[in-house]
Structure 1
Amino acid sequence: MGKLTYQTLRENVVDVIRMKIFNHELAPGMRIIEQDISDELGVSRGPIREALRQLEQEGLVEYVRNVGCSVKNITLEDIYEIYLLRATYEILAVKLCRGVFSETAFAEMDAALESMKDLKETDYNKSIACDNMLHEAIIRSTGLPRLIKGWTDLNYGNAINYYAGNPDSRAMIERQYPIHKELVDVCRTGNTEEICRAISNHYMKTIRRRLKEQGMPEDHFKFSIDVIDGWV
């Protein structure tokens, strides 16, 4: 791999390590050796430490004192918790806005959708950015800074799901446009209840798919998949 250009350097290093994790070049449980990354990328260990701290915050890496960093083993319960919280914030935002979004919000959603049309199989970072951009338009419609921050702090959840919740990267990329187009179409109706239900289904559909892939009935899962529906 060639030497990194300055983007910032830390962001470049984060992207490289994150992609190694997504591609399972760095597998769950594997130690991440700072010196190895430093030698490969031709950078000092400072930016690598900063990158690993960010990836720890994203939930992709875990740090153990006197041992160092390793790739975290993500469970379906982890994905469920993050999606439960994201959906809850977004449903609250829809109710606060009474299901009405501005032209600016729809322009942001449409821009994200347009970018999703051209995603390639390896466009993990772009896919995550488009996904977050679309959902963020819903949250920002409230204008409530603490609510927005609470949701934004969970942005790493998409990275975790892409890493652990999508064994078939091609299918995952291909799903992005149609499932988000469906959500935006419902948002355009202005029907608060329908939008909230669509958000709940949007997030929990991933959990249901993963349970099916594992051959686990929904009623055998530790948590209720329908819990959000009771809040709509």
Structure 2
Amino acid sequence: MDLPTSGDSKQKPLGLGAQVAALLTKAILEGDFRGGEQLVEQELQSRYSVSRSPLREAFRELEKKGLVDIVPRRGTFVKRITFKDIQNHFPVRAVLEGLAARLAAGSMTDQQRQELAAVLERMKDAVAHQDTGAYYQHHLHFHEIFIAASGNDLLIDTLQTLRMQNLWHRFSYRYYQENLENSYGVHQQIYELFSAAEPDGDTIRTVVEEHITVAMERFLVYLSRHEHHDPVRFS
């Protein structure tokens, strides 16, 4: 098992449970485990060369992220995606992320604007190569920059959890049909609004909220088309 660390050489390495949680999160997001599939402890202990204690700690962390359901006396199962999940998740995230964007409009630094520009350029390159995986990695980073720029720690922590769940939805949507060029255009607009001499926080908030709402509508259309044929295997 290649164990991840905190990413900062000055910080202590992640605990074993957190390391296993990170590996399982990646595996779930990338589709190694399907919705409804049980995470068998014995198999995972062998796969990651760990004992039961850190594995169960990892399960609890995944449950907090909304990636698994822990069912007493039955086991741990990868969470299925339902209409209710999408309808509960996206409107909340749209409002909170829109708020973060409005707050960031008045506090974003020049360095953060430069970071947005650099990430936007990488998104453009991913569009040119039709590399959906790379695009959404950069897309995630783009949003993280202005969320961090909001300066509201509670909002940042809440959105980190919501966006983790959203990333799960994105990876689950194997036949995602959003036109990458259209998505890139929205993010270019967001960047230009942040880069204005006097950024209009209310306008930026509206654009961000609409962007997330459109994503919700597209996902629900996808689920409605496939639910009849495969009601539980959306991840």
TM-score of the two chains, using structure 1 as the length reference: 0.71
Contact map agreement 1:109 1:134 (CA 8 A) in 2: yes
**1:203 deviation in Å?**
0.2
Q: Which amino acid aligns with 1:29?
A: G
Q: Which amino acid aligns with 2:213?
A: M
- In structure 2, the partner of 1:71 is 78
Q: Taking structure 1 as reference, are residues 121 and 88 closer, same or farther at Cα in structure 2, changes over 3 Å only?
A: closer
After superposition, give the CA deviation of every residue in 1:33-68 in whole Å (9 maximum; x if it has no partner). Answer: 111011123233333222222221111101011212
Residue 81 of structure 1, aligned match among 79, 88, 102: 88
Q: Taking structure 1 as reference, are residues 215 and 162 closer, same or farther at Cα in structure 2, changes over 3 Å only?
A: closer
Residue 203 of structure 1, aligned match among 212, 222, 231: 212
Contact map agreement 2:102 2:204 (CA 8 A) in 1: no
Which stretches in structure 1 are left out of the alignment for 5+ residues? 217-232
Paired residues for 1:32-181 under 5 Å? 32-96=39-103, 101-116=108-123, 117=125, 127-128=136-137, 130-164=138-172, 166-168=173-175, 174=180, 177-181=184-188
SS of 1:62's partner is strand
Residue 4 of structure 1, aligned match among 2, 5, 11: 2
SS of 2:44's partner is helix
Q: Which moved more, 1:92-101 or 1:198-207?
A: 92-101
**1:103 deviation in Å?**
1.0
**1:69 deviation in Å?**
0.5
Q: Would you say 1:185 and 2:192 are equivalent positions?
A: yes
**1:73 deviation in Å?**
0.9
Residue 203 of structure 2, aligned match among 190, 194, 199: 194
**1:121 deviation in Å?**
5.3
Q: Which amino acid aligns with 1:193?
A: D
Q: Taking structure 1 as reference, are residues 70 and 110 closer, same or farther at Cα in structure 2, changes over 3 Å only?
A: same
Distance 2:161 2:223 in 1: 29
Q: Which amino acid aligns with 1:71?
A: V
SS of 1:13's partner is helix
TM-score of the two chains, using structure 2 as the length reference: 0.70
> Relative contact order (alpha carbons < 8 A, sep ≥ 6): 1 or 2 greater?
2
Distance 2:97 2:224 in 1: 30
Distance 1:108 1:77 in 2: 35
Q: Which amino acid aligns with 1:209?
A: R
After superposition, give the CA deviation of every residue in 1:68-124 in whole Å (9 maximum; x if it has no partner). Answer: 21011122332333222222123223444565632133133234334544595556x
**1:11 deviation in Å?**
5.0
Q: Which amino acid aligns with 1:139?
A: I
After superposition, give the CA deviation of every residue in 1:1-39 in whole Å (9 maximum; x if it has no partner). Answer: xx4346445455334423443344422111111110111
Contact map agreement 1:95 1:192 (CA 8 A) in 2: yes
Q: Taking structure 1 as reference, are residues 24 and 100 closer, same or farther at Cα in structure 2, changes over 3 Å only?
A: closer
Which stretches in structure 2 are left out of the alignment for 5+ residues? 6-13, 226-235
Q: Which amino acid aligns with 2:163?
A: N
**1:204 deviation in Å?**
0.9
Q: Which amino acid aligns with 2:191?
A: V
**1:199 deviation in Å?**
0.5
Contact map agreement 1:183 1:202 (CA 8 A) in 2: no
Q: Sequence identity, in percent? A: 25
